[in-house]
Chain A
Amino acid sequence: MRLWWIVPLWKTLHYVSISLLVGIVSLVDLRIVGVAKGLPLRPLQRLMPWAALAFVMSFATGAMLLRINPAGSLGPPINVAFVGKIVFLVLIGLNDVLYFASGLKRQVDGVGAGESTSASAKIVAGVSLGLWVGVIFWSRMLTFLAGAI
């Protein structure tokens, strides 16, 4: 096949976008949990729009990969790992909505260098980290669970 390099190139773009997304999420969540307390949270949380951009890039490149091989994820039979991935992404979305709507985001913005965040902020950040690890788990299981049920 003459255009064999398109799929690995596209997967590289997908991986790089995800790395940037996971990188920003990890830095912010780890700081909220208590790593690198020397960093003030207001300027650190200003990275979040970049995480949103990285998510849009991950989603767009992922949607293209889904179009190239729809049966691998959508079946029939529908792939359990794909369902798991979507469910976890929705949970991350809900966790983020909770973070903003509850006023926690604004509270955390007020946490300066050397200060600790509230217990509820730590829980939301910990849940976020765990859910992202879960998204990577389901993504990796896609090829292995295709047609499993």
Chain B
Amino acid sequence: MQQWTETSAFFIWLRESPSIWAYPTVLFLHTAGLAFTAGVSLVINLRLLGLAPQLPIKPFARFFRPLWIGFWVTAISGVVMLGSDLDTRLANRLFLPKMIFVAGAVVLLLVMRRRVFSAAPPEQTRVPAFARVLAVASIVCWLGAIAAGRFLAFF
């Protein structure tokens, strides 16, 4: 694995090309994907916590397709950047906490989609108590992931 990312033509290009279409573009995809995925998740969580209470819950299930697209753009670009400097990045002590926050956020999204959004009757605006607990946990995960990502660059 280590050998492979160090010698593959793609990762050499990614590391060494001065073009903005190499590493900078992958970093841009990671940032844009994260801003979308975390941003839409955060606002949906805030809805569950009482923002815009007139909005019915169920239709939010439809935002999960674009959410997953955003997630995969973020995840794939993240793996590509990880491969560009595997040893250093894995050795960073904030890498594991960041991955735990991301895994938590993804699991919560999966649970919420099924138990909160798809399960809601069409016109329902009332939010069950367990959904609010999930929303708080999801907000903590996204804020944790963003903070870990920012601090990671300084270690």
Contact = CB atoms under 8 A, between A and B. Distances in A.
B147 A30 contact: no
17 contacts: A9-B150, A11-B150, A12-B146, A19-B38, A19-B142, A20-B39, A20-B42, A22-B35, A22-B39, A23-B39, A24-B43, A26-B36, A27-B63, A35-B63, A37-B59, A38-B56, A43-B54
B40 A26 contact: yes
B42 A44 contact: no
The interface size bin for chain B is: 35 or more
A73 to B, nearest CB: 16
Interface of B: 20, 24, 27-28, 31-32, 34-36, 38-44, 51-52, 54-56, 58-63, 65-66, 122, 142-143, 146-147, 149-151, 153-154
Interface in A13-30: 15-16, 18-24, 26-27, 30
A75 B128 CA distance: 53
A23 B66 CA distance: 12
B146 A38 contact: no
Interface stretch (A103-111, A116-124, A140-148): A140-148
Contacts of B20: 141, 144-145
A65 B62 CA distance: 36
B31 A35 contact: no
Contacts, number: 110
Contact of A140 (B28, B58, B146): B28
A44 B40 contact: no
Contacts of A145: 20
B55 A35 contact: no
B32 A137 contact: yes
Contacts of B122: 38
Given A22-B36, A36-B62, A27 B24 contact: no
Contact of A15 (B61, B65, B150, B154): B150
A67 to B, nearest CB: 18
Given A5-B154, A26-B36, A144-B24, 15 more contacts: A12-B151, A15-B146, A19-B142, A20-B42, A22-B39, A23-B39, A23-B41, A27-B43, A43-B52, A43-B55, A44-B55, A113-B56, A139-B31, A141-B20, A141-B28
